[in-house]
Structure formats: C-alpha cells, structure tokens
Structure 1
Amino acid sequence: MTFPVWINLGFVKLHPHAVFETLAYFIGFRVYLYTRSKDKIPIVQGMWVIVGAIMGAAVGSKLLYWFEDPRLTLENWNSYTYLMEGKTIVGGLLGGLIGVEWTKKRIGYSRSTGDDMAVPLIVGMVIGRIGCFLTGLDDHTYGVATSWITGIDFGDGVLRHPTQMYEIAFLLLLGAFLFHWKRKGSLPDGAIFQLFMTGYLLFRFVIDFIKPTPHFYLGLNNVQLACIAGLAYYAVLLSKWLVRPQRSHRKEL
C-alpha cells in the first residue's frame, strides 16, 4: 500500500481525506436524524442546537490546533494558510459542547441533548479516521516509531503506530456499549454523552503520549491539556449520578 491512497473513480482521482471527511459529516448527520429521540426536542430547536454545535466545533478545533506549537503560531499569525490548515477533534468536541450549551440558553431549552449526538459522532469520527489513515504522513495523525507488530510504514521506511486505527477500534467498542445502554434506557438523561466524552478524552490523553506532536506543557501537549480540562468538567457531571446516589444509599444502611 502506498500513501496517500487516492480514491480512483476512473475519470478523476480524489484525495482520501476530503472524501472521508465529507462522508463523515454526511453519514453522521443522517445517523443523528434517524436515531434522535424525536419526542425529546422539536425539530426546529434541534436544528439550532446542531448549528451551535457546528459553529462551536469549528472555532474550538482551530483554537486548540494553534496551541500545538505556540512559537510557530506566533511566527505565522498573518499566514492564512497556516491558520486554516489544521484542526483537532478534541478541540472540536469541546468547542461544540460550548456552542451547544450557549445555543440552548439562547433558545430557552434546558433538557439534555447530548445523548442523541453520541452515536452519530462516533460514526462520523470512525469514518473520518479512515481518511486520516489513508492520507498517511501528510495528515500528521500517525504515532511515533515502533517495533510492535501493528507498526505501519506510511511511505518513508519507518514503522509507526497507526494511532488512527487504534482510535477506530476504541470508538467502535465504545460505540457498541453506548448504543446498548441507550437502547436499554437505564441511564439518566445526559449520561450517554457524558460517558462518550469521558471515554474519548481519557483515550486521547493516553494515546497522545505516542504521537510525535510537541509536548511543551510539562511533558504534555495541547490536546492532553484540553483533555484534562474536559475530564475535570465531566467528573463533576458524572458524580451527580454515580457518586452521590451511592453515598445516599450507604447513609440509609
């Protein structure tokens, strides 16, 4: 296999990243429309929440990317190409979260909307990571050099961790559990999305130790710092239905 793996349609060759990123948005949105709880939020308010998520994700993904290498960002602050070329999934998720919460306050909606987004997001992220893998070195989402059996040569003769494939495997496993719990309906409102974000942020915090990105922040990189902030936020939310009920139960005993 040679990278990038172009999508050959006969009359035109398409770059894998563009193809799979487009498919990720299209299929993820269709999955959301199909699986969302139609009795939970009216369609018009639901669309506004989606708009808020998209806008927040767009801003968050860029802002966090600029902190990957602050020195390089300062040197290229007036370069449109540099400022627009990169983005991060973690920044997109956290930015989307802020965008959704802000939008819900604006439209006067207080119920949780995240549960309906967890599975569609996983579907979209899996599809997108396929494009990242097929792009190879140009995508900068691979891992450090390794002697593991999973090592992949992306074209320069060096075996590297295929962290994109690790992420796909993790997301499929996480998605299977979340889909089961969502259908079972045994968790409180909002818990599915909280578990999704907590699981993914934990995964990214760990996996980024084997990514060749600059670790300027006391041995951590920009994504890991964002993961810590996100995990702290979700630890508070999870404690509301995990820890406190158990404490109440113990007091009764």
Structure 2
Amino acid sequence: MSPVALHTLFEALAYAVGLRTFLWTRRKLAPQAFAHDDHVAWVGVGAIVGAALGAKLAFWIDDPLAAFRDFPDLWHLLEGKSIVGALLGGLAGVELAKKIAGVRNSTGDAFVLPLTVGMCIGRVGCFLAGLNDHTYGNPTALPWGVDFGDGVPRHPTQLYEIAFLLAQYALIHARRVALAEPGDRFRAFMLGYLAFRLLVECIKPLPYAYLHALSGLQLLCLAGLLYYHRDLPRILRALFARRGAWEPR
C-alpha cells in the first residue's frame, strides 16, 4: 500500500474511531455536556465546518508560498491542512453554533478523549506516510532518529505527539476531580496541546518565517494560548498542585 493510501486509511480510521469514542464519552465521562440531543447536532455541525475551514486557513498561513504557488488553481489551494487550525477553527465553529442554538452548557469535556484517540490514530498515518506528509522533524543525530526515505535520520515528531497526547490524557483523567469547572478538561487539553505544538515546531522545518523566527502554526498556537490565558492559572493548579482543602474530595 502506498504512503498516501496508508495516510488516507488511518485518517478515515481516526474519524470513525473518534466518532464512536465521542458517543461513548458523552454518556460515560461527560454526561452533563449536552442537555438535549439536538444540541449535539448543532455542536457537531459547528465543529465540522469550523475545523474544515480552520485546517485550510492554517495551511495557508503556515506555508503561503506553497499554498498559493499555483493560484488560482483551487485544487492545489485546498490540498494542505493542519490539526492546529482544525482545533482552533472547530472551537470557533462550536462557540458560534452554541450561540445560534442557545446552548449554554460547556460541551468541550465530551471531546477530550475522542480528540486524543483520533489524533493519535491520525499521527500513525502521518508517520507511515513519510516525506509525503511533511510532518517529520529536522535531521538529528539522536539514536531514535527515523529515515523517512531520503537517507537522513530525522526527529519522528509524529511519535513525539502521540506520546504527548497519551501522557496528557492520562494526567487530565487522573485529575478530573480537580478539574471541577465544566469545560476545564477541554481547556487543559487545548492549553497543553497548543504549548506542545509551539515547542515541537522548533525542531521541524520552517516553511515560512514570520518575525524572522516563528512559523504560522506557532503564531496560531500563541493566539490560542492567549485566548485561554485567564484559565491558565486555575488549570495549572488543578493539574499539578498537591491535593488540599481547595480540591474536592
């Protein structure tokens, strides 16, 4: 099977397993996230449309020279995508859909496990796709460097991301009681992932430099972290502070 076909297979698997995980999570881990079934439809549409638009916009921002190389060829313009953009676009889409539908509940906690599972599966496909996927890291002399097909050992940043996502979910799940405010588990997920991507992009090829140093994805990560900056102290306390009188027992 070709690398492109492998990537497509794992991407489809990520969506399918992520959806099934969401249906389970909604019942078992975040039963208060949705007050009515029609709210699920509104939030789902907002998430899908927002994620699709955000994923494309992030690619255009991250690598504008490649994205607009054959402009106005729309097929080429629609080729790339980014998980960072999908997450931020999905967040914006959900918030807009909730305002339209009058949904007042925080719904994010129902997405933490499905996103973790889906993104891990998707990154396996990215790893198997090799150089074609452009998600690999810079050359490295470390013993776990991976040759993706050009004879150069590189940081397997896809595997770093899988390891981070699994460790992050284990921490969030272990501290779920301390993350008592509705939506805090999702805020912890977003803060952690955006911070991780901000750092890991430093060991990946820089397609286009902003401010002579930052990639477009790093700028988007900074924007997302700024959006959640008021929640950051509370989330850090909940995740890392020792259990005390402030924490529910």
**TM-score, structure 1 length as denominator?**
0.86
AA paired with 1:207? Answer: V
List gaps (5 residues or longer) in structure 2.
238-244
Structure 1 position 230 matched with structure 2 position 230 = no
C-alpha deviation, 1:48, in angstroms: 1.4
Opposite residue 207 of structure 2, the aligned amino acid is P
**In the alignment, which of 209, 216, 241 is matched to residue 202 of structure 2?**
209
| Alpha-carbon distance in 1 for matches of 2:125, 2:208 | 25
Amino acid at match of 1:143: G
CA distance in 1, matches of 2:33, 2:60: 37
Please identify the structure whose Cα radius of gyration is greater: 1
> Corresponding residue for 1:77?
71
User: Partner letter of residue 152 of structure 2?
Assistant: V
CA RMSD of aligned residues (A): 2.2
Letter in 1 for 2:75: T
Partner of 2:175, secondary structure, is helix
Match of 1:143 among 137, 141, 151: 137
The 3-state SS of whatever aligns with 2:115 is helix
- Structure 1 vs Structure 2: percent identity of aligned residues? 49
Q: Which amino acid aligns with 1:129?
A: R
2:24 corresponds in structure 1 to 34
The count of residues paired between Structure 1 and Structure 2 equals 234
SS across alignment from 2:214: coil
Q: Which moved more, 1:126-135 or 1:40-49?
A: 40-49
Contact persistence 2:33–2:108 (CA under 8 A): no
1:140-192 CA-to-partner distances (Å, cap 9, x unmatched) read 0000100011100111110000000000000010111222333x475211100
User: Given that residues 119 and 178 in structure 1 are in contact (C-alpha distance below 8 angstroms), is that contact kept between their aligned partners in structure 2?
Assistant: no
Give yes or no for contact 2:67–2:80 (8 Å, CA) kept in 1: no
Q: Tell me, what secondary structure is at the counterpart of 2:111?
A: helix
Match of 1:161 among 132, 138, 155: 155
Residue 181 (structure 1) aligned with residue 175 (structure 2):
yes
Alpha-carbon deviation of 1:216?
1.2
Distance in 2 between the 1:17 and 1:72 partners?
21
Q: Does the alignment pair 1:25 with 2:25?
A: no
Superposition deviation, residue 239 in structure 1: 4.6
**Structure 1 146/20 Cα, relative in aligned 2: closer, same or farther at 3 Å?**
same
Q: What 5-or-longer segments of structure 1 have no aligned partner?
A: 1-5, 8-12, 244-248
Cα pair 2:4 2:129 within 8 Å, conserved: no
Between stretches 113-122 and 68-77, larger displacement belongs to 68-77
1:119 aligns with 2:113: yes
Aligned to 2:242: none
